Structure 1
Amino acid sequence: MNKSLLKYLLAILIIGGLQQRAAAQANYLKIKNYKTFYGWAHHAPQDWMILRQFENEGKTYYLLVNPQTLVTKIDEPNFYQVKPMSITEARDFFKSTPYQKALRKAEKQSLALQDAGIESGIPKETGISLTADLCPSHRPLDRRIFTDIFTEFQKVERPAPIALSVTGVWMRQHPQDLEWLKQMQAKHEIYITWINHSFNHRVSLKAPLKENFLLEPGTDMNYEILETEKAMLKNGLLPSVFFRFPGLVSDQQLVYKLTDYGLIPIGTDAWLAKGQQPQAGSIVLIHGNGNEPTGVNDFIKLLQSEAGSIAKKQWLLYDLRESVEEEFEGSN
């Protein structure tokens, strides 16, 4: 078994076990004092970076990230040797890790008004990292994406990885669709990395981009970020260290504000509905909220065109975390 596949399977086992354990230990409907909290946590042989702290039924919990693999987990502090730090101190402490290298690259690419952040993953591999956005929508989840992925990949890559950018409003409006996705993951048909996509995802049809989406005057980024993470936890989802800007719109100040929360902005180099064609290692964007059937149709056609390569394991889906980790592993 190759290194990448082994790490991927271990990540699935670890996160699956932690989610079950966390669900058994805590009723997340009673989350209190959810806040940013940074530092170093050590449980031999692994160092973790602490990102958040919250309370539930009298117990304290941390949201932690493995800075080598970008895998997150929820755990209690008493399992670790802990040193609280400022975000600046923590980032400096872990500066040589793939996680921090990815944050720095995102900051270097922060000047663009659209599509700032990490746009592609592993260029040496044949395949893509698939991301699907779940923006607020009155339409139901476009389930074809997920059933077709399972149909095409079940013999060669099970569970097939996908990253879903989810908003707080979508989770509130679509509990049945969310439960269906969780069931697909529970049955090991797909494996989901949950990306924060803001809580409200406000958009104006009239405002210019520089005053639109999260750049709208008066936007409370603390609410948009932390309330979405809380909603994820309340729904039994594990927040990742990734964030996708609504509309892919940001400016340099907003990107740095985001990275101060320890989150990596994820862009795309292949928004299918806009006619952008995926290359080896692309981070592909489609919308799974029912609002973009063109992009979904294009993705299904892509799957069908690659069916022969998929069967030969020559064209695969890649875990977004693994793609980012491998891009920055060993780099400066």
Structure 2
Amino acid sequence: MICLQQLANAQANYTKITNYKVYYGWAKHSPQDWMIIRQFENDGKSYFLLVNPQTLETKIDEPGFYQVKPMSMDEARIFFKRTPYIKALQKAEKQSVNIQDAGIESGMPKQTGISLTADLCPSHKPLDKRIFTDIITEFKRVEHPVPVALSITGIWMRQHPQDLDWLKKMQQDHEIYVTWINHSFNHRVSAKLPLKQNFLLEAGTNISYEVLQTEIAMLKNGLLPSVFFRFPGLVSDQKLVFEITDFGLIPIGTDAWLAKGQQPQAGSIVLIHGNGNEPVGVNDFIKLLRSKTQSIAKKQWLLYDLRESVDEEFQGE
């Protein structure tokens, strides 16, 4: 189940971050082994960003609480090879050939339901709050807080501080539980370039900046980075997918982009845009919610935490 005790950690603000870098290793603290994926300093103190390789949950913690063994990414993959986290990375790499929608497209929950992902790409329009108020209304009797995954860009955080504060308050009030997905910092897009030269495939893109600066911005804004990444425009190539997995991030696609008319199935990772630019997709999601009112009340149609949904697919393999 969702771990609410992570909320305080998730909403600590690290406003004086320096030396933020990719760093892999084994952090041992009985009874749970953690994998280190980042190291940084804040106001003179050292911190790790860690992932629980069994549950895909992340947390920030101080190195002094653990026995630490530094590793290369290859060594860490071998050491943690039987875990859902490494298996999810490998599955995303196997689905890396598509120019659009590479990565993991669906989870496998035991019951009928979906994982909702909403993208917050750069936009001059305000946050579409209907998504959140409507899911809370529909699910408040059966799921509380309601899990949702938000793909966030650095530019959106910079341009929409009040909307971000609203989302953080919703999380603090236990109305929603957010998995924050890295969606790149700039989310550059050209109306003229073909897909294979567009978005993060555009010439001159600094992928390290796009990934790490988004994580830094998340931490400075009191958000906890997850191990998930969504490609802007869902556009990538095989080289880019492997660059992202080398950061320890799992590319997340979708098999149900509602604004494109794709219908969700059991276990779907549903995509809508919460940045005000895609009212059609939001309207379709709200219609879907209302059509499921009775099933929701009977707990026959639920929203799943993205981490649990992906994790469940690889448990017991």
Common fold, TM-score beyond 0.5? yes
Q: Quote the residue 2:4 is aligned against.
A: 12
CA shift, 1:16, in A, is 1.5
Partner Cα distance (1:298, 1:187) in 2: 27
CA deviations 1:250-299 (Å, max 9, x no partner) are 00000000000000000000000000000000000000000000000000
Partner Cα distance (1:176, 1:19) in 2: 18
CA shift, 1:81, in A, is 0.2
Q: Quote the residue 1:41 is aligned against.
A: 27
Partner Cα distance (2:110, 2:168) in 1: 31
Q: Quote the residue 1:145 is aligned against.
A: 131
CA deviations 1:174-194 (Å, max 9, x no partner) are 000000000011111111000
Q: How does 1:21-170 map to 2 (within 5 A)?
A: 23=12, 28-122=14-108, 124-170=110-156
CA shift, 1:124, in A, is 3.9
Equivalent AA in structure 2 for residue 210 of structure 1: K
Contact 1:70 1:241 in 2 (8 A): yes
Partner Cα distance (2:18, 2:222) in 1: 16
Secondary structure in 2 aligned to 1:12? Answer: coil
CA deviations 1:47-67 (Å, max 9, x no partner) are 000000000111100000000
Equivalent AA in structure 2 for residue 231 of structure 1: A
Query: Does 1:319 pair with 2:305?
Result: yes
Equivalent AA in structure 1 for residue 10 of structure 2: Q
Secondary structure in 2 aligned to 1:42? Answer: strand
CA shift, 1:123, in A, is 5.2
CA deviations 1:135-190 (Å, max 9, x no partner) are 00000000000000100001110001000000000000000000000001111111
Partner Cα distance (1:226, 1:307) in 2: 40
Contact 1:55 1:61 in 2 (8 A): yes
Contact 1:123 1:282 in 2 (8 A): no
Q: Quote the residue 1:234 is aligned against.
A: 220
Q: Quote the residue 1:3 is aligned against.
A: none
Q: Quote the residue 2:265 is aligned against.
A: 279
Partner Cα distance (1:123, 1:150) in 2: 21
**More helix by proportion, 1 or 2?**
1
Contact 1:124 1:280 in 2 (8 A): no
Q: Percent identity?
A: 78
Partner Cα distance (1:107, 1:315) in 2: 30
Secondary structure in 1 aligned to 2:90? Answer: helix
Q: How many residues are matched?
A: 317
CA shift, 1:132, in A, is 0.1
Equivalent AA in structure 2 for residue 255 of structure 1: V
Secondary structure in 2 aligned to 1:74? Answer: strand
Partner Cα distance (1:168, 1:12) in 2: 25
Ranges in structure 2 where 5+ consecutive residues have no aligned partner: none
Equivalent AA in structure 2 for residue 279 of structure 1: Q
CA shift, 1:125, in A, is 2.1
The equivalent position to 1:211 in structure 2, one of 194, 197, 211, is 197
Give runs of ≥4 in structure 1 deviating > 3 Å.
Answer: none
Contact 1:40 1:47 in 2 (8 A): yes
Equivalent AA in structure 2 for residue 34 of structure 1: Y
The equivalent position to 2:282 in structure 1, one of 296, 302, 306, is 296
Partner Cα distance (2:79, 2:128) in 1: 42
TM-score by length of 1: 0.94
Partner Cα distance (1:258, 1:298) in 2: 31
Secondary structure in 2 aligned to 1:302? Answer: helix
CA deviations 1:222-265 (Å, max 9, x no partner) are 00000000000000000000000000000000000000000000
